[in-house]
């Protein structure tokens, strides 16, 4: 019998990117290895953990690219509010709803994708990027 229902998976990269500012920079990115042989379904969300939020940063913008040089863009730039942890004004998360089909026969993804970040003001440290996908 085949699979029944929706199965959720995640992949994460936990490497601090300090002083992410108001512009996209090649050095301020995460390279996320994808298990493209196993992935078939949709990328549903990308969750970014933040710390050291400073200088009035209130929103985070995400760009997802097929290449580490910032080209072959996979999604439009997407901006979302920074949600602070309870009791904190310097740490929190930004959650992006993506809904990007990545069934191999329709939209093959590369073996690695790169995520780039910028804020509206000040700086942040991006702590972790997590891709949530379903099949």
pLDDT digits over 13-44, tens only?
Answer: 999 999 999 999 999 999 988 776 666 667 88
pTM over 0.95: no
Burial degree of 93 (CB within 10 A; 0-12, 13-18, 19+): middle
8-134: which CATH topology?
Jelly Rolls (2.60.120)
Supply the pLDDT for residue 3.
62
The tens digit of pLDDT for each residue in 66-86 reads 899 999 888 888 899 999 999
CA atoms within 13 A on the CB side of 120: 10
Residue 118 has pLDDT above 60, yes or no: yes
């Amino acid at each position: 019998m085949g699979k029944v229902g929706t199965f959720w998976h995640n992949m994460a990269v936990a490497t601090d990117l300090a002083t992410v500012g108001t512009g996209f920079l090649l050095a301020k990115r995460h390279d996320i290895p994808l298990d493209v042989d196993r992935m078939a379904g949709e990328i549903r969300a990308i969750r970014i953990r933040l710390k050291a939020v400073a200088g009035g940063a209130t929103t985070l913008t995400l760009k997802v690219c097929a290449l580490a040089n910032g080209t072959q863009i996979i999604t439009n730039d997407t901006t979302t509010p920074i949600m602070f942890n309870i009791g904190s004004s310097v740490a929190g998360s930004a959650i992006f709803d993506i809904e990007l089909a990545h069934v191999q026969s329709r939209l093959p993804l590369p073996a690695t994708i790169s995520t780039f970040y910028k804020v509206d003001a000040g700086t942040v440290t991006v702590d972790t990027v997590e891709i949530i996908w379903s099949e």
